[in-house]
Amino acid sequence: MKHEEITRDIIGAAMTVLNELKPGLDERLYENALVLELTARGHTTQQHREFPVHYRGQFIGKLVPDLIVDDKVIADPKVASAFHDTHIAQMLGYLNITDLEVALLLNFKESMLTWKRVVRERNELTTDCTDDADKKQKRIREIRVIRG
């Protein structure tokens, strides 16, 4: 698995944070505690690093992931009843803009931590698409979601 050791450490740190703080707090509190725990475990963390987003060469805004660990994995603490497609779509968007390959959704809602590992593969596939009855070649990226 890509970045397996880092993701395992992030999950372990998140479990430690949840065991100490207990469930149901604000996401930001878990995020801040996770930064402290990961730093204590020897990892580098960046909170709210800004990534510029461009459309047709024009700056349209910034993307700001909650936490990036060791410049390799996005960690996104949530307090939600469950992970939804919107959470996964958000992580895929973050991975595409940041050019990273792995993200972890971490849910602190219940007394047992739940997580989802989202992976963007760098392999590209070629496929035929129909656009208004006009066929053209499109390159798409293979995206694989691995459930944790």
**What is the percent of the chain where pLDDT is above 90?**
73
- The count of structural domains within the chain is 1
Q: What pLDDT score does 122 carry?
A: 64
Decide if pLDDT at 130 tops 60.
Answer: no
**Alpha carbon distances (Å) from 19 to 6, 15, 108, 113, 117:** 20, 6, 10, 9, 21
For residues 1-6, average pLDDT = 87
Decide if pLDDT at 11 tops 90.
Answer: yes
For residues 120-146, average pLDDT = 39
Range of the domain at 70: 4-146
Q: Which CATH number is 93's domain given?
A: 3.40.1350
CB 74 within 8 A of CB 45: no
**What is the percent of the chain where pLDDT is above 70?**
82
Q: What pLDDT score does 142 carry?
A: 34
Decide if pLDDT at 146 tops 70.
Answer: no
Q: What pLDDT score does 123 carry?
A: 53
pTM (predicted TM-score): 0.79
Tokens coding 39: 């730093």
Question: CA-CA distance, 94 to 128, in Å (whole number)?
Answer: 26
Tens-digit pLDDT profile for residues 107-127: 999 999 999 999 987 653 222
- Compare 132 and 123 and report the one with higher pLDDT: 123
Tens-digit pLDDT profile for residues 31-69: 999 999 999 999 999 999 999 999 999 999 999 999 999
**33-64 core/surface letters (b: 16 or more CB in 10 A; e: else):** bbbebbeeeebebeeebeeeeeeeeeeeeeee
In the chain, alpha helices (H): 4-21, 27-40, 85-98
Please count the other Cβ atoms lying within 10 Å of the Cβ belonging to residue 113.
Answer: 20
